[in-house]
Amino acid sequence: MSLGTVIHEGLTRPARARALVLMGGGARTAYQVGVLGAMAAMLRLHRAPPERFPFHIVVGTSAGALNAAYLAGAASRGLGAFDELRSFWAGLHCGAVYRLDAPWWVRFSRILAAARLWRHARTRGAILDTMPLVDTLHRRISLAGIEASLQSGALDAVAVTASSYTSGTHWTFCHTRADARHEGWNRPGRRAEFQPLTIEHLMASSAIPFLFPATPLWVDGRREYFGDGSMRQISPLSPAIHLGAREVLVIGVGQPERAGLAGAPAGVPGLGAIAGHAMASVFHDTLQADVEQTQRLARTLDELPREVAGVLPYHAIEVLALQPSESLDTLARVHLKLLPAGVQRALGGLGALREGSGSLASYLLFEPAFVQALVALGERDAYAHKDRLLAFCGAGAA
């Protein structure tokens, strides 16, 4: 986060405009559902107006973009939006997100498994077919609801991010009540446009590299192919701040210290360990650094003499960041057998599910048992930070 980003620019916001930033991580983002559901329950107990959505701005990346879009579509129903998001996830399963047909015999040969997956990749541009997710999003994400939330003032802005394979630029697509009145920002390696969001934007943002196919979008009058918004995302908090946020709640699903690998056997890493490390690098490496830098800048600004701070074109950003307190890799290992049979056969044939590794599987396990375990963990972590969450939302502690 550069100092230049911490400038009040873009949209006109309330003095304490509050943003929700949801990071990516495939199925792991069910954790966010638990955190937000618990937060809503806390606010109800503290007699917060149930009809009022507690955020002005919602920003999502990858599968976090799906959560952001769902919440934006239901924001006019206030705290009920979080209950509806939970219901959405309760009805998910792997077959509603992707499919892969792999015959039984691929499990016995890495060569046969690799050949089968290579054919899928050549045909679709990725290993998995995500047409089931397209159908799910068309049925469950309310684009009309997003428009209604913006027009009614229940929400000021929603944004999702994606990374262009064509140009290498990281894009943020923003939608407000009046997009034509706002001009997108242009920074080295990252840009923004204001336009209505579509299912294609969500598919592009959530296209996990190698696993999910790229999605074409029109930018600058030309078609570019986009993949997961977590790729090349050097400043995850930047979109919310550009949109005018003064307070940011960011919910990640990574573990910078990779607790799930503690005690792993030494030696040459297998494909499962390498794939898990690559996924962790794509999804999580930048969040902690961006949060720490933003908090450091805020402390620096707060320490300036009031007469100096008053004439500067900068303001401090309050950031509250939550991430899982337990290893999601370890949690996924308990549920490996829930993966679709074809995926188990293909990944097992490649050795990607050996060594007890659950890292790669944790991004693909959209099955109810794993989802509910993540939601429960999110709830526990939220209540462990109850006072901080309530203070952030302006409700105060009990």
Q: Confirm if 236 and 323 have CB atoms less than 8 A apart.
A: no
Q: How many residues can be counted in the chain? A: 398
Decide: residue 112, CB within 10 A, 0-12 exposed, 13-18 middle, 19+ buried: middle
Contact of 69 with 141, CB cutoff 8 Å:
yes
Q: Find where tokens 């840009």 sit.
A: 191
CA atoms within 13 A on the CB side of 184: 18
How far is residue 67 from each of residues 48, 87, 118, measured CA to CA in Å?
A: 22, 12, 31
Q: Which of 26, 30, 65 is nearest to 239 (CA)?
A: 65
Q: What is the 3-state secondary structure (H, E, C) of 221-245?
A: CEEEEEECCCCCCCCCCHHHHHCCC
**323 with 25: CB under 8 angstroms?**
no
Residue 164 among the catalytic residues: no
Q: Establish whether 129 is a catalytic residue.
A: no
The single residue of 62, 163, 230, 362 carrying the catalytic annotation is 62
DSSP state of 54: S
- Residue 270 to residues 106, 126, 352, Cα–Cα distance (Å): 18, 21, 7
Give the active site residue among 156, 228, 290, 381.
Answer: 228
* 249 strand-pairing partners: 20, 320
User: For 142, phi and psi rounded to 5 degrees?
Assistant: -95, 100
> Could you give the C-alpha distances from 81 to 53, 60, 389, 396, in angstroms and in order?
8, 16, 18, 22
Neighbours of 376 (CB within 10 A): 14
**Residue 288: alpha-carbon gap to chain centroid:** 14
Please give the positions annotated as active site. 62, 228
